Every structure is written in structure tokens, then in C-alpha cells.
Structure 1
Amino acid sequence: MDESPSSPAPRGAADLQLDADIGAVLRDRLPAVAAQTVAAVTEEVPSYAGGFSGTMGDNIEAAVQMALAGFLKLASGSRDSDPSTPHGPTLEGAYALGRGEARSGRSMDALLAAYRVGARVAWREMADAATKAGVAASTMARFAELVFAYIDELSAASVAGHTDELSTTGRVRERYLDRLARNLLSGASADVLAASAERADWPEPRTLTAVLLPAAQVRGVLSLLGSGTLRVGDELPGLEDSEELSLLLVPDMEGRDRRRLLRVLAGKHAVVGPPRPWLAARASYLRAARVVDLVPAPDPPAPLDTEDHLVDVVLGADPDALADLRTRVLEPLGELRPATAQRLGETLRSWLLHQGRRDDVAADLHVHAQTVRYRMGQLRDLYGDRLDDAQVVLELLLALHPPAGEDVVLPDDED
């Protein structure tokens, strides 16, 4: 805010010296002018309709009267050694008014409209009084210029206050939202999370869904998601190279909305966790992080839905246990040549998955049905009756499941 004598209103006041008697007449009209200004604003600016009643109305009317009194001091040349002295408090009040509008969640449109209405009404009433007091036409012209220069300065001060408040509260809220997201990732208690959400003025959703994606792609995705989406841009727990990834926690993306989320992520290397109650968002993140570690990114880029990789997550939960299981249940194949063991293992897996339907197994492996029969004869010799044991069948299916994103590669058939 420029409060120096070089700003427009003090400069204009230097060229306009109202007679003391005229100034007194105008000051006598201030209460009526202030009341009419407030009434006009209330009627013509919908955002303020009903908002200036009771004590609030009295306060606003007093503020308008103070602003008009400040203007008359300028117009009358009633300044001390510092010409900006009466002007400064008025600008400070306008600045505070702009900040108050931002805190109330209103844009500057309503306040600027109020200034325009106020300037029109104030000028009409004060010009009428000045004309009746015999002010010359040339003086009236300069008087009008000063009125609107003064209103422009008040408007500019309010805009500055509004901008500063949004900037300050925006940075503060961003910090609160970041703290909320990190509390969710750390598994903080429900009381801590509820307090964090309230402090950040963040509406609590039903669920949150974790989305991991390259940091460079976050801006474009965020523009297509709801404003309640939380973001963590670095130091993601439990992930190697986490500096290359960002996390989004997206509200209420279950059911049909999940399909919409996947469409938004089309063509991107994203991993989408399961929806979880918002207090349990950490579980969604941990699932997505596991799939990042277990499942290779597709080429061309496409989102990975963790719901399609639950088997990989289960089998990858304890790699040592899975390795021990494979060693034990695949021991009968251990004495064979590697190429033969691989072919028989693939045949056994297909046989178990297709419940012994030989033609289906042959189609799956692209071999003749007689080849399937021959190989299964070899496997019966190696495993015996254990192939009829449900527990052994389960263990074999787990042991023979290929690593995520990979196919079992068979050598050329030598049968």
C-alpha cells in the first residue's frame, strides 16, 4: 500500500482545497451518507444481502463513515505535517477488509462491487450537498476526480490484503495438508488424524486410494482429480528410488469411480492401491508399494491395478518361505536335466490349472495331446499318489507360479 503524498488521492487533494464552511456542511452529512451507502450496497450486491444487520451493520456503517471522513480531510487540506497521516489508517482499514473477505472464503468481486456502489452513492449525496453550498463547477470536477481516485486506492489496498491473506493461508494450509498425509502414512492414531484433518480444513472422505506415479506426471493428474486429493512428493517410506515417485491419496474412488480413476491414469506408469477407510489409508499405500517392488512396469505405460496382482502380493509377502516351499515340493524334479525339469514343471502347472483336461493343456502349451500324456506319465513316476493329495496340489500351484510379470520360458521340445 502506497501511503505517500505521491499517491493519487493525496496528490489530487493538493490541488483541491475545500472551503472550511463547505467542509463542515459535508461533515454534517456524513452519517446520512454512510447509512445510504450501506443500504445501497446491501441491496445491489447479493453477497452482502442480509449480512449487514444488527451489530455488524452498525460496525460497517461506522467504517464507511470513517472512510468518508478521511476523504473529507484530504479534500479540505486538513493534514498535519505528513499529508498521508489521515489517509494511512483508512488504507489500513481497507487492507484489513480485503484480508477479512479472504478469510470468509469470498472473492474480491463482491467487495469491488461494493466499492463501486459506495462511490456512486457517496458522490451523489456529497455532490448534492456541495452544490447546495455553492461550490463552483470547476471545483466540483476536481472533487469528483478526488472521490474516484480515493476509491481506487481503497480498492487497491483491499485487493492487496485479499491477495496476501490467500497467499499466507494457502501456504499454511499446504503445510497442514502435507502433515496430514504424512500422519496417514505413518499410521497415526484416529484422534491425531482427525485433529490433523480439522486443522487443514480437509473434509473427511469415506475412503482414500493410494496412487504411486512418476513425479513429473503428478500435475496433469491432479488437475483431473478432486480438490481433496493429498500429495506426498518425497521420502516415501519403504520404497527404493522414492525420489522419482510421488504419492497421491485420492478420496472416494471405489466402485465405478475406481474405473474413472484408472481412465485418468491411462498411458501413465501408475500403481493404484485398494480403496481403504480414510483412517487406514496407510494400508492402501503399502499395497501399492509392494506391487511397485514385485511387478515390472508395463510397456507401453499403463496403470497397474493392485487388485489384479493379489496373488503376486501374497506370494511375495515372504520370499524366503516361498523359496523353501519351492525347494521342498519341486525336489522330485531336481535330479533331472534343467531343460527337462522346466518342461515338466510347466506341464504340471498347466495340468493342475486345467484340472487334468489334456486337450486344454495341449492347447495351452502348444504341444500335441500325446506329448502331454507322455509328460504326465513321467510326473506320475516322480510324484506318485501325491498328485492326488489336495494339500500337495496347493503347494505345487504356489511353487510353480511364475514371478510377477514373467512367463515360464520353455526350451525347444526334445520329446
Structure 2
Amino acid sequence: MERPWSRVPAEAGRALRPYLVGATDEIITAVRAQVPDYQRPLQGNFGTRITRGVTYALNQFVGLLGSDTDLPDTRIYAELGRVEHQEGRTLAALQSAYQIGTRTAWRAIGESPVAESLPAGVIFELAEALFSYVEQLSAASVAGWAEEEAVRAGSLRARRHALVDALAAQSDPAEIEKLATAAGWIVPARLAALVVEDAVEVASRIPGSVAADGPPAGIAFVPAVRDDVEAVVRAAVRDRPAVLGPVVGVGEAQRTAARARAAWSAHAAGHISQEGDPLLLADARLVELLLAATPDLASDLRERVVGPLREMPSGAAARAIETLRAWLDEHGDVTATAAALHVHPQTVRYRLAGLREVYGDALDHPTGRLELLLGLRTPRPS
């Protein structure tokens, strides 16, 4: 640790002590006049704390002059930083107080008769010692403030995590209200669950949301106070893959969370194609979710649809699947199917004749068509 006070003669400290310690009231007055957060009566704990802090700092400084020792004790200043945080004041106010106090103390030194008798070199070393000393006190206060911030943030993070867990688990409404109050969250009438990595960071860009991170992804509950929830969420997630559950009343928070989590799992397993869109709307992909929820049945259904085509040459099988999918999507309209495939309608009819040999009456039966459509939408097993 730097010890610039060791280069100042000890006798200079002894001579300056009455002038520096005597500047205590002047320093406190200057700080209270120039820093709005300290414009308070010197009463109670506030008065005791600021008077003690300034007096201790000045006495410790003059005692260090001429010694080659480290700063002996900064606990009082770390505690000062913690108290400032607890009372809702910012680091800016505290650092301003240190700067004003340093300038006032230096002015007291310069105006003392002792300064006139000190060599210029000693004056220079004295200035460096004072400013370095106050920097170290300020650093201790900043560390104390930061420690309190970390404790407060950790506690708040834990309370919000408990709230998110309760919402996702469909806890009792009274319990939700209790946890929300502890977490400083206003419970909205309607909300939607958002599953995304770094959910806490994403939620910080969505006013009124609450979130918790966790593997494989975090979850946020987003208030639906307006109709543009999707737009708000898109702006917040940016390019991150994310899933948005349905908008529900707060009493159904578990439903939107379960839907969003199921869609996230299905998407991660490759059962839902995003086609370049980072935000997946869970309620727009209910068929895929239904299939993903019963993987064995979905696999059997896919095998029933695709299996018979494996006996064809690979190119013919691919064309058959493409034609069948397009024909089903176009509700059996041959002309529309041909346009979608960029082929002649007669080509579609020819291919359909081959498909009828494979699937028989299923092409003309509503249930058969539905099974074919679902089978084609079921992804290949990974």
C-alpha cells in the first residue's frame, strides 16, 4: 500500500494538529452546505456519525505523518459506506463529501501559520499525503457500500426467485401476494410466462416483470397491461431464442409457465422449427406440443405415414412426401398443389395415383388425412 505520509516530517504533523483538528466544524459545515443529501440537522445517529468520522480521520492523518506504516484501520469508513447504502444515499453523495472535506482540510493547512515555515518540498509531499490518505478512506467506504449493495441484491434476488417459483407452481394467491410484497413486485391482473436464457437480464428491459435464472433456461413473468405484449417481449429478447406462453390471469400463472417450458423443451429437442424467428409463441404451436408430449405415439404415427414410402427410390420417396404434404396443406386442391410445387397439375395427379396405392382410402377420409398430416409434421427421432 502506498505510504506518502512517511515522507512528511513528524514534527510537521505535530505542528499542524491543532489547525487540522480545529477545522472539523468547518469541514462538516462545508459538506452540509454543498451536498444536498447531507443538508440535515446534526442530531441523533447522523450527527454522531459525521462528527466522529471527520474527527477520527483528521487525528489519524496527523498521527500517520512521518511514519512508515499502512493505514491502520478503515473499518469505520467501510461501515460508513454500508450505512449510507442502508439510508438510501448514493455513492456520488458520499464521494462528493470526501472531496469537499479534502479541499477544506487543505485550505486549513494552507491558511495556518505552520505552512509559512515549511519548505516547498514538504508542502508538496504533505498535499500528496493528504489526497492519497482520503482516497484510501473513500475506497474503504465504496467497498462498504458495494458490500451492502451485494447483500441487498442477493436478498432481493432470492425473494424474486421464490416468487417466480411460486407463480410457476400455482401457489395460493395469498402466498403470491406475500412473496410479491417482499420482492417489491406489483402483481398484474394478467401476465405471460417467458422462457429464455439470462431471463433476469431480459426482464430488466420489460417494465413490471419478475424473473429468475436457472437451467436449462430462466423464466420471467411479463405483465400484459397492453395488447402489444409480443412486441414488448421481442424488443427485450432481441436475438435470443425465447418462448412466450399464453396471456392468462395471474391465477393461471402455472398454465402459461408450463406451456412455455414445454415449448422450450420441444424446441430444444428439435421438435419445433423456428425458421429464423427467435421468439416462439407457444400457443401458435399446439400441434407440435401435442406431438412432443407423446413421443412414442408420435414416432409410431410418423412411421405409419413415412414407413411405406421407404421402399421407393430415395428421390421418388422425397417427391411423394413433398406432394402429399402440399396436397394436404391445400385441402386436396390439385391446381393449388401444382402451383405450390411449381409443376403441372397432371404431374400432381400422377403422383397422387401412386400415393393412393400406398395409403388407399385414407386420402379421402377426414381421420385418415389428419393422421397423414400429423405424421408428416412429426420430426424424425433424434
TM-score range, shorter chain: 0.5 to 0.7
Q: Assess if the C-alpha contact under 8 Å between 2:78 and 2:145 holds in 1.
A: no
Give 1:74-113 correspondences, 5 Å limit. Answer: 74=63, 88=72, 91-101=74-84, 108-113=91-96
SS in 2 for 1:355: coil
Match of 2:241 among 256, 259, 271: 271
Alpha-carbon distance, 1:153 to partner: 1.3
Give 1:177-188 correspondences, 5 Å limit. Answer: 177=157
SS in 1 for 2:328: helix
Residue 117 in structure 1 maps to residue 100 in structure 2:
yes
Identity %: 24
Residue 260 in structure 1 maps to residue 235 in structure 2:
yes
Match of 2:10 among 2, 11, 14: 14
Q: What is the TM-score when the length of structure 2 is the normalising length? A: 0.65
Whole-Å separation in 2 of the counterparts to 1:193 and 1:201: 12
Residue 394 in structure 1 maps to residue 374 in structure 2:
no
Whole-Å separation in 2 of the counterparts to 1:204 and 1:145: 60
Q: Assess if the C-alpha contact under 8 Å between 1:229 and 1:250 holds in 2.
A: yes
Q: Give the aligned partner of residue 280 of structure 2.
A: 306
Alpha-carbon distance, 1:185 to partner: 7.3
Whole-Å separation in 2 of the counterparts to 1:353 and 1:393: 10
Question: How many positions carry a matched residue from both structures?
Answer: 356
Alpha-carbon distance, 1:380 to partner: 6.8
Q: Give the aligned partner of residue 211 of structure 1.
A: 196
Q: What is the TM-score when the length of structure 1 is the normalising length? A: 0.61
Deviations 1:137-158 (A, max 9, x none): 2159768964773453133133
Alpha-carbon distance, 1:63 to partner: 1.7
Q: Give the aligned partner of residue 39 of structure 1.
A: 29
* Gapped regions of structure 1 (runs ≥ 5): 213-217, 237-246, 406-415
Q: Assess if the C-alpha contact under 8 Å between 1:229 and 1:249 holds in 2.
A: yes
Whole-Å separation in 2 of the counterparts to 1:376 and 1:40: 92
Instruction: Flag the 1:171–1:38 CA change in 2: closer, same or farther, 3 A.
Output: closer
SS in 1 for 2:75: helix
Q: Give the aligned partner of residue 240 of structure 1.
A: none
Q: Assess if the C-alpha contact under 8 Å between 2:338 and 2:344 holds in 1.
A: yes
Q: Assess if the C-alpha contact under 8 Å between 1:230 and 1:248 holds in 2.
A: yes
Q: Give the aligned partner of residue 241 of structure 1.
A: none
Deviations 1:142-183 (A, max 9, x none): 689647734531331331342365268548956984896699
SS in 2 for 1:294: coil
RMSD of aligned Cα (Å): 5.4
Instruction: Flag the 1:396–1:403 CA change in 2: closer, same or farther, 3 A.
Output: same
Whole-Å separation in 1 of the counterparts to 2:61 and 2:355: 105
Alpha-carbon distance, 1:293 to partner: 0.5
Match of 2:138 among 138, 150, 158: 158
Instruction: Flag the 1:42–1:276 CA change in 2: closer, same or farther, 3 A.
Output: farther
Alpha-carbon distance, 1:98 to partner: 3.4
Whole-Å separation in 2 of the counterparts to 1:69 and 1:335: 91
Deviations 1:52-86 (A, max 9, x none): 65424422442245236615863999xxxx9979x
Q: Give the aligned partner of residue 137 of structure 1.
A: 116
Whole-Å separation in 1 of the counterparts to 2:218 and 2:80: 36
Match of 1:149 among 122, 129, 139: 129
Residue 358 in structure 1 maps to residue 334 in structure 2:
yes
Alpha-carbon distance, 1:226 to partner: 3.9
Deviations 1:32-65 (A, max 9, x none): x43332232122224x243565424422442245
Alpha-carbon distance, 1:359 to partner: 0.7
Instruction: Flag the 1:326–1:303 CA change in 2: closer, same or farther, 3 A.
Output: closer
SS in 2 for 1:273: strand
Deviations 1:184-235 (A, max 9, x none): 57956758988888888899896552235xxxxx8xx969974987544xx6
Q: Which has the larger radius of gyration?
A: 1
Q: Give the aligned partner of residue 50 of structure 1.
A: 39
Deviations 1:325-352 (A, max 9, x none): 4567x59x95996468876665454333
Instruction: Flag the 1:147–1:183 CA change in 2: closer, same or farther, 3 A.
Output: same
Whole-Å separation in 2 of the counterparts to 1:348 and 1:10: 90
Q: Assess if the C-alpha contact under 8 Å between 2:338 and 2:348 holds in 1.
A: yes
Q: Give the aligned partner of residue 226 of structure 2.
A: none
Which amino acid in structure 2 is aligned with residue 155 of structure 1?
E
Q: Assess if the C-alpha contact under 8 Å between 2:4 and 2:128 holds in 1.
A: no
* Gapped regions of structure 2 (runs ≥ 5): 224-228
Instruction: Flag the 1:393–1:10 CA change in 2: closer, same or farther, 3 A.
Output: same
Q: Assess if the C-alpha contact under 8 Å between 1:209 and 1:273 holds in 2.
A: yes
Q: Assess if the C-alpha contact under 8 Å between 1:290 and 1:313 holds in 2.
A: yes
Q: Assess if the C-alpha contact under 8 Å between 2:267 and 2:273 holds in 1.
A: no
SS in 2 for 1:95: helix
Q: Assess if the C-alpha contact under 8 Å between 1:37 and 1:118 holds in 2.
A: yes
Q: Give the aligned partner of residue 410 of structure 1.
A: none
